[in-house]
Chains A and B, each alone.
Chain A
Amino acid sequence: MTLIKKISLVIVSLSLVAVSSVSSAKPFSPKKPIELIIPAGQGGGADEIARLVQGVIEKNDYASKPVIPINKKGGSGGEAMTYVKKKAGDEHTLIITLNNVLTTPVNQPELGIDFFNDFTPLARLITDTFLVWIATEGKNTQGVETFDDFIALAKQGNLVAGGTGSMSEDELLLGMMRGQFGFDAKYVPYDGGGAVAKGLVGGESDFTLNNPSEQMGFYQSGDSKALVMMTPERNPAFPEVPSSYELGYPDLEYYMMRAFMAPAGIDAEVEKYYTGLLHTVYHDDEFQTFNIDDGKLMSWLEGYGLKDFLAIEYEKHGEIIKNFN
């Protein structure tokens, strides 16, 4: 009897615990302002998306608490990633990614960032594309009409590439292209995509590998033109620009991912809440229109799909860095 009593007591208490834990698992909602960490400076591509997300959330009251973007641009994202790593278990911190979250842990091992265990990936919203740009009136690129013309010219002599520097996406991409096409070019780093575009049109550099939005103004005014977009298909925002697949260079494919992650060690409920919030933002009309007009690719990805994607990209970037060095 006593044994049965004991067992039943255990069962009762266990079920009580179960019941109480179920009842306590109310859907999560933020209790204080949400910090959105931007591992880049103000006015750049990541900053732009982060502030757009903030704007869309606040305008439509998608979240019960405000979102506060904080720029931590130091150390190619190293500062931001160290910060988020320290915030493990914090339910009010998010980080927007550039590809530097894939490269900085490899380039700066002294930071001790473990890409796979220090973050909780939530969702990828957008992928940004890359194009090869030249100035329409470029003094060293006269007569270049197609990407093949460009490669032929690049092989001859010292063209100057403008980029955002510090082992950024375009510098790695240039490294990839050097290996693939066997040309060499000087690489001059600037502060951000806007300055890169100005350096091109101002005649200081001969070509750039900018994202669409960074070159849009000069593209629309006809001061610069794109030779190739590094994607399988043409983009409706740039109908006359061929894709690298069309030109027969399927290896020339590269993207910038705009994903969101939370610190490690958050509850599944919290993860679900933020993924849901991002999903609402993703389907917002204003968010969609803005990004499509800007030549970006809307590419929602979450859960295991996202984890696989990140693992593949991480490995790919490790390879690019190895070849680059």
Chain B
Amino acid sequence: METFALLLQGMATSFELLNLGLLIFGCLIGLFVGAMPGLGSVNGVAILIPITFIVPPTAAIIFLAAVYYGAMYGGAISSVMLGIPGASTAVATVFDGRPLAVKGEAMTALTAAAVGSFVGGTVSVILFTLFAPPLAEVALRFNAPETFALMVMAFATFVGLGGDDIPKTIFSILIGLVLSTIGLDLITGKPRLIFFGIPGFLHGINFLVLAIGIYGIGEMLWTLEETKGKVQMSKLSVNMKEVGRAFSALKKTIMAMNIGSFLGFFVGILPAAGATPASLMSYGITKQLSRNSKEFGNGVPAGVVAPECANNSASTGSMLPMLTLGIPGSPTTAILLGGMILWGLTPGPLLFTQQPEFVWGLIGSLYIANFFTLVLNIALIPAFLMVLRIPFAILAPVIFVLCVTGGYAPTQSLHDVWLMLLFGFGGYMLRKLDYPVAPAVLSIVLGPLAEKAMRQSLILSDGSMGIFFDFASKPIAAVIMYIAIVLLIMPAFGPLYRRFFKKT
């Protein structure tokens, strides 16, 4: 009951004129940075931090959280409309969002993205409101062995993608893993795999460089070849029938919404993971558990809902360790955390009791920000659809420019632009040879997280792998690890099971 009163007070705080204005403004900026390839919530929030010195901390966090939030919605727009991930968190949205748009169902894809984001955001903020303190305890107990087990599970969901060629999937995962080891050894700090001693490799391969290369440039080359430049996007009329069709398609995505919301939130509250791994994992698991998993990748609404639901859910979730433990759950919350410290707040276990107005103002504002971004998004869909009316001859150079700026923005080095072009060509070749590219993207995101967690665990256990399977001392890690193994071997038994299931 006390929680409820505090929450209402928090919502009231968000409706104060300054806060509400900043909230809406923040959502709009977020939509923009999210939609611009290369600019994501990390850059958006980092650029805007100095502005927040002028307003009180509560208004500042409401503003920045709205930017963070808006960016989670916005990322889907360029993923669907242009086939370039607008932000790292929206990479998984390309997998099915783009094919839907090409099939002429962009309306459905955008609606699914907006509604999925809303559901994920709302479920997670409710979970946050009700269970913040016990969940903080879970996050605290979730250490290196548990994190590694979770990463193995994520890889298992991708290896076990029904329908895809498993050896080719494993090959793709390995390419991603090799790319992810370039840069700096996580434990010793020594440079490794610095090709030709080029200093640009010191910061490793930025994940967005790979994703934009493969999906932006590679996709463009593919489309040009397939259609010889005569791309025709069909069915662009926006009428009530279309809207109705878009919403009725959502009925089949209830499972994706559940997986996205709960898994996203859970991955979000774990330190150092964040929305990008959450959206990829949620996509993988939804595909694995779906009845028509073969359809994934060819444009199914559930394939858009799952990652979009998860990235919003995870972004809310990642605020939990930030507020209660003072550790960032994602790169963006790392910057928010820096901001909080600069505003004179000390994140940590006492924040809820010492600064209730700040914390509940933030939580309250998340409910409101969710609502506003949904409305804004649905209202703007016709405007977004205009993009598809542009002839491809004009659109292709625009996409190319966006890819180049997107590749340059995260690290501001030209080295990465060349790499991106290289990956674009490589991605195109892989696609021609019928290799799945999504697993490579997944492993460059999860590779460093998995490697670090594994090496930390092995230092603790003096090199024994037993630490991941020990029910007595690390029950959570062991359970997740065994689930991962089951997921890994499921594709072998899956067809048998299905046949058996159908006959009875």
**Chain A residues close to B by CB (< 8 Å):** 41-43, 47-48, 51-52, 54-56, 58-59, 69-70, 72-76, 78-79, 82-83, 107-108, 110-111, 160, 165-168, 186-192, 194-195, 197-199, 201-204, 213, 216-218, 220-221, 223, 290, 293-294
Q: When the two chains form their complex, are residues B203 and A220 in contact, meaning their CB atoms are under 8 A apart?
A: no
Q: When the two chains form their complex, are residues A52 and B325 in contact, meaning their CB atoms are under 8 A apart?
A: no
Q: When the two chains form their complex, are residues A42 and B331 in contact, meaning their CB atoms are under 8 A apart?
A: yes
Q: When the two chains form their complex, are residues B327 and A194 in contact, meaning their CB atoms are under 8 A apart?
A: yes
* Interface residue? B244 (CB, 8 A): no
Complexed CA–CA distance, A83 and B200 (Å): 9
Residue of B nearest to A75 (CB): B202
Q: When the two chains form their complex, are residues B191 and A108 in contact, meaning their CB atoms are under 8 A apart?
A: yes
Residues from chain B with Cβ under 8 Å of A204 in the complex: 143-144, 460
Given B197, B199, B327, B341, which contacts A197 in the complex, CB threshold below 8 Å? B327
Least CB distance from A106 to B in Å reads 12
Q: When the two chains form their complex, are residues A166 and B187 in contact, meaning their CB atoms are under 8 A apart?
A: yes
Complexed CA–CA distance, A245 and B224 (Å): 72
10 nearest A-B residue pairs (beta carbon): A217-B348, A166-B189, A43-B334, A74-B203, A74-B202, A194-B327, A75-B202, A221-B349, A217-B326, A79-B202
Q: When the two chains form their complex, are residues A51 and B191 in contact, meaning their CB atoms are under 8 A apart?
A: no
Given B46, B140, B339, B460, which contacts A198 in the complex, CB threshold below 8 Å? B140
Given A41, A59, A75, which contacts B54 in the complex, CB threshold below 8 Å? A59
Q: When the two chains form their complex, are residues A78 and B191 in contact, meaning their CB atoms are under 8 A apart?
A: yes
Residue of A nearest to B456 (CB): A188
Q: When the two chains form their complex, are residues B184 and A216 in contact, meaning their CB atoms are under 8 A apart?
A: no
Least CB distance from B422 to A in Å reads 19
Q: When the two chains form their complex, are residues A43 and B342 in contact, meaning their CB atoms are under 8 A apart?
A: no
* Interface residue? B350 (CB, 8 A): yes
* Interface residue? B163 (CB, 8 A): no
Residues from chain B with Cβ under 8 Å of A43 in the complex: 328, 331, 334-335, 337-338
Given A51-B342, A160-B460, A188-B460, do A58 and B50 touch, yes or no (CB 8 Å)?
Answer: yes
* Residues 18-51 of B at the A interface (beta carbon under 8 Å): 42, 46, 49-50
* Interface residue? B346 (CB, 8 A): yes
Least CB distance from B200 to A in Å reads 8
**Chain B residues close to A by CB (< 8 Å):** 42, 46, 49-50, 53-54, 139-144, 183-191, 197, 199, 202-204, 271-272, 321, 325-328, 331, 334-335, 337-339, 341-342, 344, 346-351, 411-412, 452, 456, 459-460
Contacts A42-B334, A204-B143 aside, 7 further interface pairs with beta carbons under 8 A come to A47-B338, A59-B50, A76-B189, A166-B187, A198-B326, A204-B144, A217-B348
Residue of A nearest to B324 (CB): A217
Given A74-B202, A221-B348, do A186 and B50 touch, yes or no (CB 8 Å)?
Answer: no
Given A56, A59, A83, A165, which contacts B187 in the complex, CB threshold below 8 Å? A165
Q: When the two chains form their complex, are residues B331 and A107 in contact, meaning their CB atoms are under 8 A apart?
A: no
12 A-B residue pairs with CB within 8 Å: A55-B53, A79-B203, A82-B199, A82-B202, A108-B191, A111-B199, A165-B186, A195-B272, A198-B140, A198-B321, A199-B143, A223-B349
Greatest chain A CB density within 10 A among B183, B204, B342, B452 is at: B342
Residues from chain A with Cβ under 8 Å of B188 in the complex: 166-167
Q: When the two chains form their complex, are residues B346 and A290 in contact, meaning their CB atoms are under 8 A apart?
A: no
Given A41-B334, A42-B335, A108-B191, do A166 and B46 touch, yes or no (CB 8 Å)?
Answer: no
Residues from chain B with Cβ under 8 Å of A166 in the complex: 184-189
Given A165-B186, A197-B326, do A48 and B342 touch, yes or no (CB 8 Å)?
Answer: yes
Q: When the two chains form their complex, are residues A42 and B327 in contact, meaning their CB atoms are under 8 A apart?
A: no
Given A51, A75, A195, A218, which contacts B348 in the complex, CB threshold below 8 Å? A218
Given A48, A75, A190, A203, which contacts B338 in the complex, CB threshold below 8 Å? A48
Residue of B nearest to A217 (CB): B348
Residue of B nearest to A69 (CB): B46
Least CB distance from B199 to A in Å reads 5
Residues from chain A with Cβ under 8 Å of B325 in the complex: 194, 197-198, 201, 217
Residue of B nearest to A107 (CB): B189
Least CB distance from A293 to B in Å reads 8
Complexed CA–CA distance, A51 and B46 (Å): 9
Complexed CA–CA distance, A63 and B199 (Å): 32
Q: When the two chains form their complex, are residues B411 and A213 in contact, meaning their CB atoms are under 8 A apart?
A: no
Q: When the two chains form their complex, are residues B456 and A213 in contact, meaning their CB atoms are under 8 A apart?
A: no
Residues from chain A with Cβ under 8 Å of B189 in the complex: 76, 107, 165-168
Greatest chain B CB density within 10 A among A43, A78, A216, A290 is at: A43
Residues from chain B with Cβ under 8 Å of A221 in the complex: 348-350
Q: When the two chains form their complex, are residues A75 and B460 in contact, meaning their CB atoms are under 8 A apart?
A: no
Q: When the two chains form their complex, are residues A55 and B183 in contact, meaning their CB atoms are under 8 A apart?
A: no
Q: When the two chains form their complex, are residues A216 and B46 in contact, meaning their CB atoms are under 8 A apart?
A: no
Q: When the two chains form their complex, are residues A51 and B338 in contact, meaning their CB atoms are under 8 A apart?
A: yes
Residues from chain A with Cβ under 8 Å of B350 in the complex: 217, 220-221
Residues from chain A with Cβ under 8 Å of B339 in the complex: 51
Given A55, A79, A198, A218, which contacts B49 in the complex, CB threshold below 8 Å? A55
Least CB distance from A69 to B in Å reads 7
Residue of B nearest to A76 (CB): B189
Residues from chain A with Cβ under 8 Å of B203 in the complex: 72-75, 79
Complexed CA–CA distance, A204 and B187 (Å): 17
Residue of A nearest to B341 (CB): A48
Complexed CA–CA distance, A216 and B326 (Å): 9
Q: When the two chains form their complex, are residues B349 and A189 in contact, meaning their CB atoms are under 8 A apart?
A: no
Residue of B nearest to A198 (CB): B327
Least CB distance from B447 to A in Å reads 14
Given A42-B331, A198-B327, A204-B460, do A217 and B347 touch, yes or no (CB 8 Å)?
Answer: yes
Complexed CA–CA distance, A186 and B331 (Å): 28
Complexed CA–CA distance, A82 and B197 (Å): 12
Complexed CA–CA distance, A229 and B361 (Å): 37
Given B53, B199, B344, which contacts A79 in the complex, CB threshold below 8 Å? B199
Given B42, B349, B459, which contacts A218 in the complex, CB threshold below 8 Å? B349
Least CB distance from A85 to B in Å reads 10
Residues from chain B with Cβ under 8 Å of A217 in the complex: 325-326, 346-351
Given A51-B342, A55-B342, A218-B348, do A198 and B186 touch, yes or no (CB 8 Å)?
Answer: no
Complexed CA–CA distance, A108 and B271 (Å): 30
Q: When the two chains form their complex, are residues B412 and A70 in contact, meaning their CB atoms are under 8 A apart?
A: yes
Complexed CA–CA distance, A69 and B43 (Å): 11
Complexed CA–CA distance, A160 and B144 (Å): 14
Complexed CA–CA distance, A59 and B343 (Å): 13
Residue of A nearest to B326 (CB): A217
Residues from chain B with Cβ under 8 Å of A48 in the complex: 338, 341-342
Complexed CA–CA distance, A56 and B54 (Å): 10
Q: When the two chains form their complex, are residues B50 and A55 in contact, meaning their CB atoms are under 8 A apart?
A: yes
Residue of A nearest to B336 (CB): A43
Greatest chain B CB density within 10 A among A110, A160, A166 is at: A166
Residues from chain B with Cβ under 8 Å of A75 in the complex: 183-184, 191, 202-203
Q: When the two chains form their complex, are residues A216 and B346 in contact, meaning their CB atoms are under 8 A apart?
A: yes
Complexed CA–CA distance, A160 and B190 (Å): 22
Q: When the two chains form their complex, are residues B143 and A202 in contact, meaning their CB atoms are under 8 A apart?
A: yes
Least CB distance from B435 to A in Å reads 29
Complexed CA–CA distance, A160 and B203 (Å): 29
